[in-house]
Amino acid sequence: MIDFVLSEKFITTIVTILFTIIIVSIINRAKDKIEVTNAASIKTKKRNTIVTLISNILSYLFILIALVIILSIWGVDVSAIVTSLGVVGVIGGLALQDALKDIIAGCNIILDDYFVVGDLVTFNDFTGIVSEFGLKSTKIIGFDGTELTIANREISKIQNLSSNPTLWYLNIPVAYEVSEKKVEKVMQSIIKRLEETKLTLETPQYLGVNNFNESNVDYLLLIKCKSEDRYVIRREALKIVKEEFDEKNIKIPYPQVEIHNGK
C-alpha cells in the first residue's frame, strides 16, 4: 500500500488533480471579481453573461485535459478514447444540431448586440417586448400579454424596432373653411404640448398641406420618437389635436348624408 501511494503514477495523478482544482478555482474567483452583482443596466448583464460563458468553457476544458492526462498516466490508450469520443461527438452533433445552432446563435446575439431585454422586436406578424433571453431561446411578450418563445436560430426573422427611432407622419384632417394660417398657429400649440409630454426625441415638425380630399384638407405633422413609445404618443397626439381643435373652434370633417323629401 505504501509503495502504491509513493509510486510515480499515484503522485503524478494527485498533482494533476490538485493543479486542476487550483486552476478552476482561480477561474471562478476571476469570474466573481469581474462580474457585477445586482447588475441593473443591460450592458452590465450582457458582460456578466459573457464572463460566465467563458469561465465555464475554460473550466470544462481544463477538467477534460486533466482527465486525459490521468488516463494516459495509468496506461489507458487515450487515442482510442479520443477517436471514440469523436465518433460519439459526430453522432451527438447530428442529433443535437438544432440545439447547437440555438446556442451558437445565442452567443452571436450577445456579442453582436442584435437585441437585449426590453427591446421592442417583431417576429413574423408578432410584435412585443423581449422579456427573457437565454442561449437557446428568446421570450417575447406581446401587447395583449401573449408570450412567444422562439429558438435563437430564427434570429434572421427577428426585427429590432428599438435599434432606430420611429418617424411617424400624422395626417390631420381640417375643413376647407379654416384658413391655412389659423391651422399653422394651432399646429404650433400642438407641437409645444407634444414636447411637454417628453415622449418625442426631437421637436415635431409641421410640414404643411399634404392632400386635398372631397370634404377636407390634410395637414401633415412629423413626430420622431422611440419605437416602444409610438403607440403611447399616437394616443397622446390625437388627444391633444382634439382638445386644441375644440378650443379653437376648428371642425374635424366627417361624412354626412343629405336626404331630400321627394314631395
Asked whether the whole model's pTM tops 0.75, one would answer no
Identify any residues that bridge with 172 across adjacent strands, giving them in sequence order. 219
Q: Is 237 exposed, middle or buried (0-12, 13-18, 19+ CB in 10 A)?
A: buried
Structural domain includes residue 259:
no
Identify any residues that bridge with 160 across adjacent strands, giving them in sequence order. 121
**In the prediction, which pLDDT does 82 show?**
62
CATH number at residue 155: 2.30.30.60
**In the prediction, which pLDDT does 189 show?**
93
CATH number at residue 204: 3.30.70.100
Is the domain of 49 the same as that of 122?
no
Structural domain includes residue 105:
no
Show the domain range for 139.
114-160
**In the prediction, which pLDDT does 154 show?**
84
**In the prediction, which pLDDT does 48 show?**
65
Is the domain of 84 the same as that of 156?
no
Is the domain of 226 the same as that of 154?
no
pLDDT in tens, the chain (263 residues): 676 666 777 888 888 899 999 998 998 888 788 766 655 555 666 666 667 667 777 888 888 888 888 888 887 776 766 666 665 555 555 445 666 676 677 777 766 677 777 778 888 888 888 887 776 788 899 888 889 998 888 877 888 877 677 888 889 999 888 888 898 999 999 999 999 888 888 889 999 999 888 888 999 999 988 877 888 888 999 999 999 999 988 888 776 666 767 65
Is the domain of 146 the same as that of 180?
no
Is the domain of 6 the same as that of 91?
yes
Structural domain includes residue 252:
no
Structural domain includes residue 102:
no
User: Distance between CA atoms of 194 and 241, rounded to whole angstroms?
Assistant: 10
Is the domain of 147 the same as that of 231?
no
Structural domain includes residue 260:
no
Looking at 38, 66, 95, which one is the last position of a domain?
A: 95
Structural domain includes residue 76:
yes
Are the C-beta atoms of residues 190 and 137 closer than 8 Å to each other?
A: no
* Residue 128 grid coordinates: 412585443
Is the domain of 207 the same as that of 136?
no
Is the domain of 136 the same as that of 209?
no
Number of domains comprising the chain: 3
